[in-house]
Structure 1
Amino acid sequence: MKINYILIPLAAFAVAGIGSLLTSSGMAWYKTIRLPAWTPDGSIIGTVWTILFILAAISVLIVWNSSLGPEQAGRFKLIVAVFVINAVLNVGWSFLFFNQHLLVSSVFEAGLLALSVIALVILIWPVSRLAASLLIPYAAWVSFATYLTFSVWSLNR
């Protein structure tokens, strides 16, 4: 068995776990702020994130195991770098929003997170349409989450 079949899911689990810990640490505060009426229930949010992290891990595995030639080594390195940036942004949003309560910063950070997912879809598409397509729900959810974050900021400024 290739080690990447262990390390990539572990990395996705670590990012999800850190984000979850940061989210949990801010739930008391979250319950005190005004939320849009259309805010999804927490159980739905958790379920969606679980599915998205599984899809992202599968996408990374597909890209990692694709037979990219030496001429595409630069693209591969860029994809890996953007995935790492995406993971940092994902955890960073939870930190800014739930831990630091920095709503304006969270809006901009969420926008950057959405852009990083869109960049991944664009970068991965020539390598594997399946791997890129697996990230489209992630891009849609993070775009929705960006609008939700903006709405929360608007209601609480």
Structure 2
Amino acid sequence: MIKPWMVIGGVTFIVALGTALMKPRDTIWGVHLRRPDWLVFEPAIPFIWTIVFVAGAASATIVWDKDPGSLKTWLLMGLYLLLEIVTVAYIPMTLRLRSLKIGTILGGSGVILGVVLALLAWPISGWAAALLLPYLLWSPVGTYTTWEMIQLNPEAA
């Protein structure tokens, strides 16, 4: 029997593969951008996002398990999915369009969606809301970093 966590984890994994939509020429553009001097943790970013996505999937699973199949739960699952799509779209869209401004807009949109989702999850489960904390802490860092990169690379805005 397929468990809800398997479906949620599978969807999370499949959506996360969206970063594979990057083309080498797009990646080269991004590599050549100047970065803030304080961005010393860049090699850890893929691991950080892995933790964020796993925690988000766990949050969604808890919400699903509290009221499986209800309209409210399906709408929340849609919001979890939208948040992941916006988050995953950040890198391919920023690189493909060669626009740090697009990245900043997507990052900021993700922060807002994350806050809304956490507020909606809180009454259902404190744990579900708490599992969104890694996203709520990390996403603003990424958004701010992108905004800071605009200052360093105005031609890439």
Q: Which letter maps to 1:102?
A: S
Letter in 1 for 2:38: W
Count residues in correspondence: 153
Q: How does 1:36-55 map to 2 (within 5 A)?
A: 36-55=36-55
Aligned match of 2:57: 57
Q: 1:40 to 1:57 in 2, by over 3 A?
A: farther
* Percent identity between the two aligned chains: 27
Q: Which runs of 5+ in 1 are unaligned?
A: none
The 5-angstrom pairing of residues 2-151 of structure 1 reads 2-19=2-19, 21-22=20-21, 25=24, 26-67=26-67, 73-151=70-148
Q: Distance in 1 between matches of 2:29 and 2:77?
A: 35
TM-score, normalization by structure 2? 0.87
**Structure-2 separation of matches of 1:7 and 1:55:** 15
> Gapped runs of 5+ residues in structure 2?
none
Given that residues 83 and 120 in structure 1 are in contact (C-alpha distance below 8 angstroms), is that contact kept between their aligned partners in structure 2? yes
CA separation of 1:17 and 1:63: change in aligned 2, threshold 3 A: same
Amino acid at match of 2:116: A
The superposition leaves residues 84-117 of structure 1 with CA deviations (integer Å, 9 ceiling, x where unpaired) of 2112211221222122211112111110011111
Cα distance in 2 for partners of 1:127, 1:24 equals 41
Contact 2:62 2:128 in 1 (8 A): yes
> Is the Cα contact below 8 Å between 1:36 and 1:151 reproduced in 2?
yes
Q: Secondary structure at the match of 2:112?
A: helix
Change (3 A) 1:47 1:103: same
> What SS is found at the alignment partner of 2:11?
helix
Cα RMSD, aligned residues only: 2.0
Residue 23 of structure 1: how far off its partner (Å): 5.5
1:24 CA drift (Å)? 7.2
